Amino acid sequence: MYEQEFKETIQLIKKQDEWRSRTINLIASENVMSKTARAMAGSDFAHRYAEGHPGERYYRGTSFIDEIESQLKANLKILFNCNHTEVRPISGTNANEAVFSKFVKREDVVMVNSTPSGGHISHHRLGSLGKFTQNLIDFPLTKDGYHIDIEKTKFLIKSAKPKLIVLGKSLFLFPDPVQELSDLCNENNIKLIYDGAHVLGLIAGKRFQDPLREGACLITASTHKTFFGSQRGLILSNMDPDNWRKIDRGAFPGSSSNHHLDTLAQLALCTYECMEFGQEYADDVVANARTLAEALDRYGVDVEAKEFGFTESHQVAVNVRKFGGGEKVSKSLEINDIILNMNMLPHEPLKNHDHPDGVRIGVQEMTRFGMKKDEMEKIAELMKECVVDHKSVKEEVDRFRRNYQDVKYSYDDTVGKDLK
Residue 365, in any domain of the structure = no
Answer yes or no: is pLDDT of 213 > 90.
Answer: yes
- The pLDDT value given to residue 256: 82
Q: How much is the average pLDDT of 81-92?
A: 95
- Pairwise pLDDT comparison (351 vs 389), residue with the higher score: 389
Q: What is the pLDDT of residues 90-108, one digit of tens each?
A: 999 999 999 999 999 999 9
Give the count of domains, the chain. 1
- The pLDDT value given to residue 420: 58
- The pLDDT value given to residue 419: 67
Q: How much is the average pLDDT of 59-64?
A: 94
Buried b (16+ CB within 10 A) or exposed e, 285-306: bbbbbbbbbbbbbeeebbbbbe
- The pLDDT value given to residue 253: 85
Separation between Cα atoms, residue 362 and residue 1, nearest integer Å: 44
Residue 218 belongs to a domain with what CATH number?
3.40.640.10
Report the SS3 class of residue 358: strand
Q: What's the pLDDT band for 168 if we cut at 50, 70, 90?
A: very high
Q: Tell me which residue range forms the domain holding 68.
A: 38-271
Q: What is the pLDDT of residues 357-386, one digit of tens each?
A: 999 999 999 999 999 999 999 999 999 999
Q: How much is the average pLDDT of 335-344?
A: 97
Q: What's the pLDDT band for 280 if we cut at 50, 70, 90?
A: very high
- The pLDDT value given to residue 350: 79
* Alpha-carbon 22 to chain mean position: 23
Quick one: DSSP state of residue 171?
Answer: S
Residue 393, in any domain of the structure = no
Answer yes or no: is pLDDT of 416 > 70.
Answer: no
- The pLDDT value given to residue 58: 87
Beta-strand pair 24-25/218-222: unpaired
Residues 289 and 377 sit within 8 Å (Cβ to Cβ): no
Residue 79, in any domain of the structure = yes
> Which strand (E) or helix (H) includes residue 9?
helix 3-20
Residue 379, in any domain of the structure = no
Residue 137, in any domain of the structure = yes
Q: What is the pLDDT of residues 232-242, one digit of tens each?
A: 999 999 999 99
Residue 368, in any domain of the structure = no
Percentage of the chain lying above the pLDDT 90 cut? 87
Residues 6+ apart with CB under 8 A from 405: 21, 369
Q: What is the DSSP string of 192-260?
A: EEEE-TTTHHHHHTTSS--HHHHT-SEEEEESSSSS-S-S-EEEEE---HHHHHHHHHIIIIII-SS--
Answer yes or no: is pLDDT of 406 > 70.
Answer: yes
Residue positions counted in the chain: 420
User: Amino acid identity, residue 337?
Assistant: D
Q: What's the pLDDT band for 132 if we cut at 50, 70, 90?
A: confident
Q: What is the pLDDT of residues 282-297, one digit of tens each?
A: 999 999 999 999 999 9
Cα within 13 Å of Cα(225), Cβ side: 28
- The pLDDT value given to residue 418: 66
Report the SS3 class of residue 64: helix
Percentage of the chain lying above the pLDDT 70 cut? 99
pTM beyond 0.75: yes
Residue 87, in any domain of the structure = yes
Residue 100, in any domain of the structure = yes
